[in-house]
């Protein structure tokens, strides 16, 4: 339980380079992914990444690191983890 709280306190940073490479830190979980959408959970809420030909090049949940490659067209946050796995989240996958 102490490790879970420690992981939630990871700093969250987002670096987008030329809309082609995305580097994230503070990632707690990845709910789903395909070539058009990646849904990740951070300490600051759910992050939905949309684009074309998306590819996860690195995922390390212990360090909270996620790297994506592809044509990134949108990044959107929700406020919290409240909807994680809920009805609306499943409808909009």
With a cut of 80, say whether residue 91 has pLDDT above it.
no
With a cut of 50, say whether residue 1 has pLDDT above it.
no
With a cut of 80, say whether residue 87 has pLDDT above it.
no
pLDDT tens for 43-63 read: 889 999 999 999 999 999 999
Strands across the sheet with 13-17, in order? 13-17, 21-25, 65-77, 45-60, 37-42, 27-33
pLDDT tens for 17-45 read: 999 999 999 999 999 999 999 999 998 89
- CA 89, 42, 17 angle in degrees (round to 5)? 105
Rounded CA-CA distance 16/80 in Å is 22
What's the predicted TM-score (pTM) here?
0.75
Rounded CA-CA distance 18/62 in Å is 27
Question: What pairing do the DSSP bridges indicate for beta strands 65-77 and 21-25?
Answer: antiparallel
Which pLDDT belongs to residue 90? 52
């Amino acid at each position: 339980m102490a490790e879970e709280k420690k992981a939630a306190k990871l700093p969250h940073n987002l670096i987008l380079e030329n809309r082609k490479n995305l580097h994230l830190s503070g990632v707690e979980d990845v709910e789903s992914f395909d070539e058009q959408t990646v849904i990740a959970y951070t300490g600051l809420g759910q992050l939905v990444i949309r684009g074309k030909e998306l590819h996860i090049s690195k995922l390390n949940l212990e360090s909270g690191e996620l790297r994506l490659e592809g044509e990134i067209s949108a990044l959107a946050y929700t406020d919290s983890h409240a909807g994680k796995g809920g009805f609306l989240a499943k409808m909009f996958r």
